[in-house]
Chain A
């Protein structure tokens, strides 16, 4: 499920080009108030250019290289993209692709060598405090909150440090606890909770101050299926009802496929694809067709091979199973070849590529 409101824009599959895709949930290009002051009423006026287009995150030409000389590693290579306010954008990539470095560069935890990052129109290099005033982040592998404090104490503490008087958002905290099924544990020290519960507390504390843009790195790591679904449901609700902008990095394809309006695929430091899940699947290499028949002899196999790439031939007790690279459009051609060769399929099924196949294909190509 992707592209929830069916709105898209220009897209690219190569890095280094500005991308302006992403659904505009408010349906208006200029609905954002360019003069809106931040929570602190100072130094937080969004840049009119980006705010007017409803852009929550604008990354342009970000590059980060670690070390120098022959051991240097180009972790992020001239990456550019934009994220619309209120959308959920996923970041996929194999280990070492540069996802975490990219997220940390956007968050100012890593200083990029080149490029600019604007959050709600504010350049993070010029005015970091103002830019991050309404930003929350839950990073992979980090505890993110204080385990010796209770759940509610964490929410109050992190609301305060994010610039909000916790007494004024007590109702919000109650709702967050309720929606993440944490009410029962509100007064329990976090260290006594399970890993999945801790993960939910971490998310709650990120949202405790009313962040408008959140970055989540592997948010469902360690969660059971039910907890993962609760979290996904809550993310969708927050984006739809409250206009929360979510940038989410995950290896969990189900999460990406379920919640994301758009997906960026990273490989070797570059964005190699940027599209909705539907478009990525549509543009993917064809699927496969699996044919099982007792008539698949050597001549028939040779006839099929002349027209289609055969990826597997497996002998069965009663015949042969043939796996052929062929999309739905090629199916009739394959049937003709089989009929001409005198093969009557006993079983035939098509396997369309899923997001994982697309991801593997894209990252194997490395954008080349």
Chain B
């Protein structure tokens, strides 16, 4: 096994090669198996349809008046659920397949792979949620301020905190296995976080999604641009995102270490 393509022997792979490999794999799975993405779009729109038409029958004009906020909230919810379930389920699958064990003993370890996967999942979720948003706007006849840079930055920072929760859930799955269904229930809690009354109870801004949801509403409904937000608001958004992502990642790492001590890393 000594001769190689250019006769110079194997070249070492760095983080660039790792990023390319992980992202390319995610891309292949996305384009080669679109059924999951399409299914996600259809189910999300179905629930939104039930919410919108059912709500209009019950609440009439009251719902129509607040439809912009509902659309933005639902958009953020699909983003959050997509990122959370993608990362937590993905870690569970890696455990089940035995591929997590393989990554653990590589020179890179599983940590950077998981982070890169997380980034890929966020991009994928954005693509899916954009389709959902477009259909929701058509369905409801609503218009929103769609300043792409502002939306991408605010929404990305908002769901980073959820990504942290996904890592924590993945870590718990590594330890206790087969609890994915219970952890998936957490995504319904995102509704509460997205609609948290942060103006009345300011400390709620420290929870995942809550502060980001408020800023996204202002961006998409009121047309506030990224640079028009108070620096303190943006700083808090970044702090919450980094804090929960770091915390979730630490839980994942600690869970993996504990699983190694207990000898349950690869069991499923």
Interface residues of A (CB under 8 A from B): 39-41, 64, 66, 75, 101, 104, 107-111, 128-130, 132-133, 135, 137, 139, 141-149, 153, 156-172, 175, 207, 209-210, 238, 242
**What is the distance, in angstroms, from A155's C-beta to the closest C-beta of chain B?**
11
A163 and B106 form a contact (CB under 8 A) = yes
A145 and B99 form a contact (CB under 8 A) = yes
Does B107 sit within 8 A of A, measured CB to CB?
yes
**What 1/0 mask marks residues of chain B from 1 to 32 whose CB sits below 8 Å from any chain A CB?**
11111101111110001101100010011001
Which interface class (under 10, 10 to 19, 20 to 34, 35 or more) fits B?
A: 35 or more
Contact pick for B107, options A75, A133, A137, A210, CB 8 Å: A133
Task: Give chain B residues whose Cβ lies under 8 Å from the Cβ of A64.
Answer: 263
Does B185 sit within 8 A of A, measured CB to CB?
no
Contact pick for B10, options A39, A147, A207, CB 8 Å: A39
**What is the distance, in angstroms, from A239's C-beta to the closest C-beta of chain B?**
12
**What is the distance, in angstroms, from A64's C-beta to the closest C-beta of chain B?**
7
Task: Give chain A residues whose Cβ lies under 8 Å from the Cβ of B46.
Answer: none
Bound form: Cα–Cα A175–B9 in Å: 15
B18 and A169 form a contact (CB under 8 A) = no
Does B241 sit within 8 A of A, measured CB to CB?
no
User: Known contacts being A135-B105, A168-B5, is A146 close to B11, with CB within 8 Å?
Assistant: no
Bound form: Cα–Cα A128–B104 in Å: 10
Does B113 sit within 8 A of A, measured CB to CB?
yes
B1 and A242 form a contact (CB under 8 A) = yes
A143 and B99 form a contact (CB under 8 A) = yes
Most buried by B among A161, A165, A207, A210: A161
A144 and B4 form a contact (CB under 8 A) = no
Bound form: Cα–Cα A132–B17 in Å: 19
Contact pick for A168, options B4, B104, B113, CB 8 Å: B4
A172 and B1 form a contact (CB under 8 A) = yes
**What is the distance, in angstroms, from B209's C-beta to the closest C-beta of chain A?**
31
Contact pick for A132, options B9, B32, B98, B105, CB 8 Å: B105
Task: Give chain B residues whose Cβ lies under 8 Å from the Cβ of A153.
Answer: 25, 28
Bound form: Cα–Cα A70–B2 in Å: 53
**Chain B residue with the shortest CB-CB distance to A212:** B1
B105 and A146 form a contact (CB under 8 A) = no
Does B203 sit within 8 A of A, measured CB to CB?
no
**Chain B residue with the shortest CB-CB distance to A147:** B97
User: Known contacts being A39-B12, A143-B97, A144-B102, is A132 close to B107, with CB within 8 Å?
Assistant: yes
A139 and B98 form a contact (CB under 8 A) = yes
Most buried by B among A39, A175, A242: A39
